[in-house]
Chain A
Amino acid sequence: MLAKRIIPCLDVTAGRVVKGTNFVGLRDAGDPIEIARRYNEQGADEVTFLDITASSDQRDIILHIVEACAEQVFIPLTVGGGVRKVEDVRRLLNAGADKVSMNTAAVQNPDLVFDASSKVGSQCIVVAIDAKQVAPGQWHVFTHGGRNDTGLDTIAWAKKVAALGAGEILLTSMDRDGTKNGFDLALTRAVSDAVSIPVIASGGVGNLQHLADGVSEGRADAVLAASIFHFGEYTVRQAKEYMAARGIEVRL
């Protein structure tokens, strides 16, 4: 049976892994390659790098990190942040990324999702959605690192990107990100039930119960977390053992 995936996420800027709360207040968490290796040894199913570098002249740093990672870490690597053109997708894949995640650019130009998936295959294209609740049972899509309300309904947008050829959705609750209060389970479930492609739950993990809830209550196909792993509160293996003990299929 297909295992539910646990994906540690590394926010990278200027060659370092950082972690913030509600998208602000960054603190240093270490070297990306070293951290990716550690997670591979702990049994992580994938690793995601999000390049949160603001200035374009520092963008190429992520390519070198991806290259170094692909030489040493033999599990799938997703890279996102600053992807605007099909050419950006190709450069990341050529450097050794297995999947590329796009967010703001997909909202500004939905054809990018279609063009990129037609060119490199749906399996390489992840659309990241930053969602924030605006009314009970209603979430809007935000862009530009969470600063800009697009007015788009998250469920409708998820269906649209799936139809355009996205192979997976990385769904982050902005209300929960960095809070350690757990995933927005209603949001996760609404999106996962609405689309036929895999959905990764993200934002708010503070303990192992939250990860299990994301799968069993949120019906996520994969769960993503950052700080609980970076600062040594839990290992990936502990997370998997916890989930397995609750009847969730994992790769141990």
Chain B
Amino acid sequence: MSAGQTIAVIDYGMGNLRSVSKALEHVAGGKTVVVTADPAVVAAAERVVFPGQGAMPDCMNELDARGLRAAVLAAAKDKPFLGICVGEQMLFERSDEGDVPALGVFPGNVKRFPDAKMYLPTGERLKVPHMGWNEVRQSPHALWNGIADGSRFYFVHSYFVEPADPALVTGRCEYGVPFTCVAVQFHPEKSARDGLQLLKNFVEWHP
């Protein structure tokens, strides 16, 4: 196995790693999927997936406890890199959740869905967490190849990113307030056919 052909899934003790790695294996072709907490393996990988579930302060603590911060920052800058859910949120500067600083790869912050705006025009209340399948409006990007604009993906989150630079946005969703995806806020590994197609596009993406 050549390290250059591996897809590293970063293991910092948080999140549904097995689901992510199994979905990637399903679409990886000849490439090898490794779940790893080793900065050297991340550095040698061809592309990197940064999943995340749970509370942002715990995620940041666990990342640092494993000495993975530098490897994640380096990979986010120079490799095909896919952040998922909290793995997306951690790429920004600061989160409302626990009021912690994040990795600061992109300018912008992570906000909680505002209680006052969580109603439909009909008056129906919108529940938080935003849980379930919602429509994503696409901005042009190789990740969307073969996926119809407006396709539904599986979300489960109470916080969302507000990027300072609109040019970063690859997709938009609306739930009480409009929010955006730079990496992906939804879970491609749990989004059936379209989710697997997105992961396949990531595996084949050459930025």
- List residues of A whose CB falls within 8 A of some B CB: 1-5, 40, 43, 45, 67, 70-71, 74-76, 93-96, 98, 118-124, 167-168, 196-199, 221-222, 251
Contacts and interface: CB of A to CB of B under 8 A. Distances in A.
Contact of B26 (A5, A74, A197): A74
B125 interface: yes
Interface of B: 16-19, 22-23, 26, 53-55, 58, 115, 118, 125-135, 152, 154-158, 174-175, 187, 189-192, 195-196
Given A3-B134, A96-B18, A74 B54 contact: no
A96 B22 contact: yes
A168 B131 contact: yes
A123 B191 contact: no
A94 B132 contact: no
Contacts of B132: 2-5, 45, 198, 221-222
Given A2-B126, A70-B19, A196-B127, A124 B133 contact: no
A197 B128 contact: yes
Contacts of B17: 94
Contacts of B118: 196
Contacts of B127: 196-199, 221
Contacts, number: 100
13 contacts: A5-B132, A5-B133, A40-B192, A74-B19, A74-B23, A74-B189, A74-B192, A75-B154, A75-B191, A94-B17, A94-B18, A96-B19, A196-B128
A76 B128 contact: no
Among B53, B158, B192, which residue has the most Cβ atoms of chain A within 10 A? B192
B19 A98 contact: yes
A120 B2 CA distance: 34
B129 A123 contact: yes
A121 B128 contact: no
A75 B16 CA distance: 12
Nearest to B25: A71
A197 B195 CA distance: 25
A93 B16 contact: yes
Nearest to A221: B127
Contacts of B190: 74-76, 98
A123 B53 contact: yes
Nearest to B189: A74
A98 B155 CA distance: 12
B196 A197 contact: no
Contacts of A45: 132-133, 154
Contact of B131 (A70, A94, A119, A123): A123
Contact of B196 (A5, A74, A93, A94): A74
A224 to B, nearest CB: 13
Contacts of B154: 45, 75-76
B191 A198 contact: no
Contacts of A197: 127-129
A198 B129 contact: yes
Given A98-B190, A124-B53, A221-B127, A2 B196 contact: no
A91 to B, nearest CB: 12
Nearest to B124: A219
B33 to A, nearest CB: 12
Given A74-B26, A76-B190, A1 B18 contact: no
A122 B131 CA distance: 11
Contacts of B175: 2
A1 B134 contact: yes
Which 6 A-B pairs give the minimum distances between C-beta atoms? A121-B54, A123-B156, A251-B133, A96-B18, A198-B127, A3-B133
Given A121-B55, A123-B157, A1 B135 contact: yes
A118 B58 CA distance: 9
Contacts of B115: 196
B131 A221 contact: yes
A130 B101 CA distance: 41
Nearest to A4: B132
A217 to B, nearest CB: 13
